[in-house]
Each structure stands twice: as C-alpha cells, then as structure tokens.
Amino acid sequence: MENQETAQVTTANGVGGEAPAPQAQPELTITDLQNLRAIIDTAARRGAFPAAEMQAVGSVFDRLNKFLEVVTPQTQDQSETPTA
C-alpha cells in the first residue's frame, strides 16, 4: 500500500512529475501559402534580395506558385458548388 501512495509518474527524461500534455500539430493552410507567395513577390519587387539570391528565391516562388495553381482551382470548385 505504501508503494501506491508514493508512486510517481516518470517522464521520458526520467524526472518524476505529470505526463506532458500532447502538443497540437502545426497547421499550414492554402491561405497561408498564398500569403507567403505575396510576401515573396512584394519583397522581391522592393529589392529585399541581393542579385546572388534571386535565383534561389525565384525557384522557390515558382514551385510555390505551381503548387497553388494546381490546388487553388480544386478548392474553389468545391466551395462554388451550387446549393439548390
């Protein structure tokens, strides 16, 4: 009986205490990606990137833009379904 009264929960690092609460998974939405594309575009137009970095920035922008072109029409088609 004494063991039950003095028992502690052992965490992953071996220190006694309560078990940690599960953390929420990070979320990234299509709107977040569209905002990121706008930020990159604005920063590039304002000259925030030196010439030596423009190829890398442009490559990431192009990949992001192509992804959004594929994904965005699908989400718009689903949301524009007529309700009769």
Domains: count for the chain = 1
Average pLDDT over residues 44-65: 95
Average pLDDT over residues 47-70: 95
Residue 23 within a domain: no
Residue 64 within a domain: yes
Residue 19 within a domain: no
Residue 68 within a domain: yes
Residue 12 within a domain: no
Per residue in 5-48, pLDDT tens? 444 544 455 556 666 777 888 899 999 999 999 999 999 999 99
- Return the amino acid letter for 4: Q
> What is residue 5's predicted lDDT score, i.e. its pLDDT?
47
> CA nearest 40: which of 19, 26, 54?
54
pTM of the model: 0.58
Residue range of the domain that includes 50: 29-76
Residue 41 within a domain: yes
CB 44 within 8 A of CB 65: no
Q: What is the DSSP string of 10-66?
A: B-TTS-BSPPPPPPPPP---HHHHHHHHHHHHHHHHTT-S-HHHHHHHHHHHHHHHH
Residue 2 within a domain: no
> What is residue 14's predicted lDDT score, i.e. its pLDDT?
57
